[in-house]
Chains A and B, each alone.
Chain A
């Protein structure tokens, strides 16, 4: 067992444990922190796969933007007490059965598909900023521009949604 496998299995174990704790934690703040650790281990997977650019972007976007949004919203709503009621037992059992069945179906489908891909030597040009930037700005130029329009419209939409309705306060 070489060092790469050790890193792979430890990162996967951390990801599983924190993902499960995200689901079962009673306090939503603990869920968010645990999800943050899960994202960090996925970022470690990216680094293991030599996707350097995505590693940085993943850290910035998820740890820096999305989790801050989650935590701010949680604290804004004052939801950090454990007041959440549980679903009825029949719904919980149904959720467990559905999830286990989905997992088994996914595994069996992949096993039937018989994917055989061996990792060739990483040449260094896959996933670094230069080659990814070349592909992004030549082959995928129009999607890249449309993504910026999407982010701008999402920003405008959020500001519009969060604005207090002045007319509703009058009635």
Chain B
């Protein structure tokens, strides 16, 4: 018995999209916890945002409601702003410390 019965369903239902989004989100969480390179962690955050976007679009289409897609539009704008500011901060850190390894950035600890 599979977790979501998605293989028993003959047609593509919302459960398929929920499963795909959950898997992509889990991969993103795994990447954030697994890597030490700050830029790769940023990419994994983007992956998590995109999995949520995919689920919003799927629900919007299955409900016949446009509001979900408007939310996705807003999320994309916020993600673009977040990436720009985050990468600028990373470049500044790299310019000062010559590393973006998150295990090296422990200056606030002592």
Q: Which of A's residues lie within 8 Å of B, judged by CB? A: 4-5, 8, 12, 15-16, 19-20, 22-23, 28, 31-32, 35, 38-39, 42, 45-46, 49-51, 53-54, 57-58, 61-62, 65-66, 69-70, 73-74, 76-77, 79, 84-87, 91-92, 94-96, 98-100, 102-104, 106-108, 110-111, 115, 117-120, 122-123, 126-127, 131-132, 135-136, 139-140, 143-144, 147, 150-151, 154-155, 157-158, 161-162
Contacts and interface: CB of A to CB of B under 8 A. Distances in A.
B89 to A, nearest CB: 6
16 contacts: A23-B27, A39-B50, A45-B57, A54-B57, A69-B83, A87-B36, A99-B33, A103-B23, A115-B14, A126-B61, A127-B57, A127-B66, A132-B69, A151-B80, A158-B88, A161-B88
A110 B80 contact: no
B84 A158 contact: yes
B interface, over-half SS: helix
Contacts of B64: 120, 123, 126
Interface residues of B, number: 74
B87 A70 contact: yes
A31 B40 contact: yes
Contacts of B57: 45-46, 49, 51, 54, 127
B50 to A, nearest CB: 5
Closest 6 CB pairs of A and B: A99-B30, A95-B33, A154-B81, A23-B31, A103-B26, A161-B88
